[in-house]
Structure 1
């Protein structure tokens, strides 16, 4: 039986972007509407939080301990200060096609380039105006390298880094794509269907890749973690105690723990049967993952 442990109270409106920082043996994640970055040391249970000036949707560490993050208006450097604030310095603020947009899912490729996508915050409107951007040390922002996304999600790379995954989790899309990825140039090509989630439960939210090259996606609305082989075949599912898991990341000393964030619904009636919605969970699936590359540093 798979072990599932609740690590935090169920308080996160939109928990996202779990990042394991091995040098601290600590898990970081965000709550997007709260504009907060959180940290937990699982062994001691010690926690700390920082408030940013804008909503933080995704992030990756740089070697100096600062964060590269996707906020509302662009890519920023965040310094986590002792006073509980996250000082933000703009690195790149692209001209977005409509008001009411923000960055969403993002992480570094295996070579330390930061990738993040945008979305319109009016989900019912289903505006296909989201784009995918690359921010690299030395060359700055490039993109959008993909256009026409409604709710960009699911970024991940194969263990060798030569395959890139991307999803659109909006109910009108529910699609995961795979690309060939030029590790030297940092460019994706040969976009093709990887998984049609209309054939599976839930919507493909945040994702991670394990040592076998299998792709784990949070099946939002279905309360499951789904594992797909590199050929796009579903070979495992794990039921979760919440309906809206949002993103997963491997961590722990042996990278054999999947940390999963979740979303807490605003309506009390939607909490029936899932009182832990909005918590962060630790799952031990019996499979190892891979450390994420830091910004500007090759894995």
Structure 2
């Protein structure tokens, strides 16, 4: 277990639920979201400038679109977003969330190595423990798929191996705390052979958002555990980095050499005066990541 000395807060304010960090090599900036605040944030390391855009509904995850703009999993569906210079967000719905209803939204999401967009739904009141979450795939040609995985409580942890042939998925609900691996057909975009990779019930924290490094190892935020953990492709825990915030939410590699990691977090008690909860921090984890593939699903 180790704790690097180079934690650096880059978010100008604490997020309620900071999620979906994403590095743009083209723009040389970081993106992330604050889900309940309905905000998208950016930070430019060169200028140390940050700003945000206000969305019409909660935005849970982001991916870049090949033609420009962003793909986002939100409350009512999947959208293509354009962040305007005047601070406005232009949103075009690509697909409706089939189970859309009050209290339900998309949660974790990203693209596979071929540019297909994936995201899962969840019931936001985790105390209700309603296993109604579904994992979907969206492409421009096929639209929204039938769910590939069903009965999820709190879908999280989507990531792909460097060669794209293994898909990872977690359920971060306290009643589950599981990470699965799937064989993934890169030609068809279909996962199969679901198997348990890690059971985190006996570990500190719950498996939240994730990223994969060039060694093929799976990094996951231990929500409630104040750590980010690295597991080998065999599911062996080989590294823990302790963090100054109790509820890290998602991690992502970025920077010029993809050797930096942005970690977002949750602030469960905004008025408690904590200096770290809810902030996004940059660290150097001692590993190199893989650039996220832009979404080719928007046409």
Deviations 1:114-169 (A, max 9, x none): 00000001110000000000011222111211100000000000000000000000
Q: State whether residues 231 and 239 of structure 2, in contact with CA within 8 Å, keep that contact through their aligned partners in structure 1.
A: yes
- In 2: Cα distance, 1:222 partner to 1:9 partner: 24
Superposed, which structure 2 residues align to 1:1-299 within 5 Å? 2=4, 3-96=6-99, 99-266=102-269, 268-269=271-272, 274-296=274-296
After alignment, is 124-133 or 56-65 more displaced? 56-65
Aligned residues: 294
Shift of 1:100: 1.7
The answer as to whether partners of 2:170 and 2:180 remain within 8 angstroms in 1 is: yes
* Distance across 1 between alignment mates of 2:212 and 2:98: 31
Between 56-65 and 246-255, report the one with greater CA deviation: 56-65
Name the SS for the 1:138 alignment partner.
coil
Q: In the TM superposition, what is the alpha-carbon distance from 1:6 to its structure 2 partner?
A: 1.4
Does structure 2 retain, via aligned residues, the 8 Å contact 1:10–1:277? no
Q: Distance in 1 between matches of 2:184 and 2:177?
A: 22
- What is the CA deviation profile of residues 218-249 of structure 1, one whole-angstrom value per residue up to 9, with x for unaligned ones? 00001000000000000000010000000000
Gaps of 5+ in 2: none
Deviates more, 1:211-220 or 1:9-18: 9-18
Query: 1:98/1:24 Cα in 2 relative to 1: closer, same or farther (>3 Å)?
Result: closer
Residue-by-residue CA offset, 1:10-41 (whole Å, 9 max, x unaligned): 41000000010110110000000111111100
How big is the alpha-carbon RMSD for the aligned residues of Structure 1 and Structure 2? 1.3
Residues 166 and 177, structure 1, Cα contact 8 Å, conserved in 2: yes
TM-score normalised to structure 2 length: 0.95
Q: Secondary structure at the match of 2:201?
A: helix
